[in-house]
């Protein structure tokens, strides 16, 4: 191991030595564990770099990463230097912190980590995510970004990112997820997500179920925040779709508004909704002097890259990785499978975290599936693959349990014929492991 790799590994060991609530089995979203005052103090000690450039703040249950990527891509096409902060990572930790879609280097991450250690020492009970967020805010400042797009980690109200004063807030599709942390109703979850809305700061909201929208509207009104609603203020219409991507139209609600055509390489009708949300954001921030032309948006949208979201890795047989991780995203995934592969025999490779509502995910995904191969990622909260197989047996005759994603993919290829489509899903960890296993062992099949 060279010195850069060694320093990088030391930095990761340090970051992960703090409590990481994404890895704990029993989560409680409580002020004792999620206290913004720790983050406020840490950033104050560091000179509050997060207040030194404009930020677009993106929350939501589904689509927040894709929407953030679409916004970032269009801003970059307009010539801005753009920071992007997202989580979790697929393969490498450095993916979380990017400038102009270039990951922070291992050397820079190691250097920055050393730089902030004295400040972290002053703050009791810091968490892994708080430290990572602090690193991102400092890196964007040092890199002199023109603007940053920051994705919320979990929830919104008590998320470590929620100490910023954003240019605009964004709330993507809300659904039931992390109920043990965020609440047992859609309204409670919406209340946590709407916690990112700031006094007088406009908020763009994707189409929502009535219960969620009512909460968001109430919070926006109480904060005197202008509410821009996709599907009401900004409209969209699907045109055509293929395995290469989707064509669609976007326009402002006014009767004489010009309808603009766009293309995205992201698959699934829900991605058009995400693009419409990004479009509404990009049009609204013009009021703050951030000018992104229609041509910039078109270029940014058409070249956006957001892996493991119905990503087609190969075509003979078809191999798709997707990070659906709750019943709502499972429903969207099933619709996308039926849209793109109505004739194919579906081989589903599935693994999930143990806190997920797997039964409801299976209710959506498994009817009509030919084979199910259950698996588990290397993650402390991974659902046991044998237990998953037992559940899957209620839906599908042919179910196999495997101990690793690599083994699951091997079994899937053995089962696949020319008329098959293999879909790897259940969590971002399983999607990432599936893509890694394919690159390592099977990519040459596609050449």
pLDDT at 110 over 80: yes
Query: Are 19 and 62 part of one and the same domain?
Result: yes
Bigger pLDDT: 120 vs 1:
120
For residue 364, count other CB atoms closer than 10 A to its CB: 18
Bigger pLDDT: 402 vs 1:
402
Query: Are 119 and 227 part of one and the same domain?
Result: yes
What is the C-alpha separation between 153 and 273, in angstroms, rounded? 21
Query: Are 213 and 351 part of one and the same domain?
Result: no
Beta-sheet pairing, 227-229 with 234-242: unpaired
pLDDT value at residue 355? 82
Query: Are 109 and 127 part of one and the same domain?
Result: yes
Tokens describing residue 438: 């394919």
pLDDT at 1 over 60: yes
Query: Are 325 and 234 part of one and the same domain?
Result: no
Q: What is the mean pLDDT of the chain?
A: 92
Beta-sheet pairing, 260-264 with 245-252: antiparallel
The CATH number of whichever domain residue 372 belongs to comes to 3.90.190.20
pLDDT at 55 over 90: yes
Which of 7-16, 194-203, 233-242, 248-257 is predicted least confidently? Answer: 248-257
pLDDT at 279 over 60: yes
Q: What is the mean pLDDT of residues 322-342?
A: 93
Query: Are 319 and 272 part of one and the same domain?
Result: no
Question: Using an 8 Å Cβ cutoff, are 270 and 332 in contact?
Answer: yes
Query: Are 228 and 268 part of one and the same domain?
Result: yes
The CATH number of whichever domain residue 281 belongs to comes to 3.40.1190.10
Residue recorded with tokens 């979850």: 189
Q: In b/e form, how buried is each residue of 304-336, taking b as 16+ CB within 10 angstroms?
A: bebbbbbbebeeebbbbbbbbbbbbbbbbbbeb
pLDDT value at residue 113? 98
Query: Are 331 and 352 part of one and the same domain?
Result: yes
Listing DSSP states for 129-156 in one string gives HHHHHHHHHHHHHHTT-SEEEEE-SSSS
Q: What is the mean pLDDT of residues 31-60?
A: 91
Of 276, 302, 328, the last residue of a domain is 302
Domain assignment of residue 142, given as a range: 3-302
Note the Cα 447 to chain centre separation in Å: 30
Q: What is the mean pLDDT of residues 377-400?
A: 92
pLDDT at 123 over 60: yes
pLDDT exceeding 90 applies to what percent of the chain?
82
pLDDT value at residue 380? 79
Query: Are 261 and 317 part of one and the same domain?
Result: no
Question: Using an 8 Å Cβ cutoff, are 225 and 198 in contact?
Answer: yes
pLDDT tens for each residue of 157-185: 889 999 999 999 999 999 765 445 555 68
Cα→Cα distances 212→142, 289, 415, 444, Å = 38, 31, 42, 46
pLDDT value at residue 36? 92
Question: Using an 8 Å Cβ cutoff, are 121 and 57 in contact?
Answer: no
Q: How confident is the model at residue 31 (pLDDT cuts 50, 70, 90)?
A: very low
| Number of residues that this document lists for the chain | 447
If one counts the domains in the chain, the total is: 2
What is the C-alpha separation between 200 and 222, in angstroms, rounded? 10
Of 271, 302, 333, the last residue of a domain is 302
Of 302, 334, 367, the last residue of a domain is 302
Q: φ and ψ at 343, to 5 degrees?
A: -100, -15
Tokens describing residue 387: 């237990």
Query: Are 323 and 295 part of one and the same domain?
Result: no
pLDDT at 251 over 50: yes
Q: How confident is the model at residue 442 (pLDDT cuts 50, 70, 90)?
A: confident
Q: How confident is the model at residue 313 (pLDDT cuts 50, 70, 90)?
A: very high
Which of 8-22, 26-40, 403-417 is predicted least confidently? Answer: 26-40
Beta carbons within 8 Å of 253's beta carbon, 6+ residues apart: 232, 233, 234, 235
Q: What is the mean pLDDT of residues 185-191?
A: 89
Query: Are 276 and 330 part of one and the same domain?
Result: no
Query: Are 331 and 290 part of one and the same domain?
Result: no
pLDDT value at residue 26? 45
What is the C-alpha separation between 28 and 269, in angstroms, rounded? 34
């Amino acid at each position: 191991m060279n010195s850069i790799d060694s320093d990088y590994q030391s930095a990761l060991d340090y970051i992960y030595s703090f409590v990481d609530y994404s890895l704990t089995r029993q989560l409680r979203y409580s002020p004792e564990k999620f206290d913004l005052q720790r983050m406020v103090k840490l950033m104050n000690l560091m000179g509050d770099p997060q207040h030194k450039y404009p930020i677009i703040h993106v929350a939501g249950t589904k689509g927040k990463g894709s929407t953030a990527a679409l916004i970032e891509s269009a801003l970059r096409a307009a010539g801005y230097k753009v920071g992007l902060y997202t989580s979790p990572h697929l393969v490498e930790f450095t993916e979380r912190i990017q400038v102009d879609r270039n990951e922070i280097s291992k050397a820079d991450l190691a250097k920055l980590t050393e730089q902030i250690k004295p400040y972290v020492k002053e703050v009791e009970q810091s968490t892994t995510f708080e430290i990572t967020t602090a690193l991102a805010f400092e890196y964007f400042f040092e890199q002199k970004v023109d603007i940053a797009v920051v994705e919320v980690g979990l929830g919104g109200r008590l998320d470590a990112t929620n100490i910023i004063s954003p240019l605009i807030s964004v709330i993507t599709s809300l659904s039931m997820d992390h109920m043990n942390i965020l609440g047992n109703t859609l309204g409670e979850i919406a209340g946590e997500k709407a916690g990112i809305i700031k006094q007088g700061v406009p908020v763009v909201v994707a189409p929502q179920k009535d219960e969620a929208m009512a909460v968001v509207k109430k919070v926006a009104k109480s904060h005197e925040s202008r509410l821009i609603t996709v599907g009401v203020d900004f409209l969209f219409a699907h045109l055509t779709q293929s395995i290469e991507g989707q064509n669609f139209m976007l326009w402002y609600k006014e009767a004489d508004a010009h309808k603009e055509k766009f293309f995205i390489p992201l698959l699934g009708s829900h991605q058009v909704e995400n693009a419409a949300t990004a479009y509404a954001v990009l049009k609204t921030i013009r009021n703050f002097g951030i000018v992104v032309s229609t041509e910039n948006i078109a270029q940014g949208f058409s070249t956006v890259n957001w892996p493991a979201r119905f990503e087609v890795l190969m075509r003979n047989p078809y191999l798709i990785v997707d990070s659906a991780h709750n019943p709502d995203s499972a429903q969207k995934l099933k619709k996308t499978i039926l849209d793109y592969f109505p004739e194919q025999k579906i081989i589903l490779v599935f693994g999930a975290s143990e806190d997920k509502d797997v039964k409801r995910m299976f209710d959506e995904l498994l009817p009509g599936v030919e084979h199910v191969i259950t698996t588990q990622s290397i993650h402390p909260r991974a659902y046991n693959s044998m237990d998953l197989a037992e559940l899957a047996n209620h839906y599908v005759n042919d179910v196999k349990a495997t101990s690793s994603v690599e083994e699951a993919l091997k079994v899937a290829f053995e089962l696949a014929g020319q008329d098959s489509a293999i879909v790897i899903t259940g969590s971002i960890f399983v999607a990432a492991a599936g893509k890694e296993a394919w690159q390592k062992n099977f990519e040459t099949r596609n050449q």
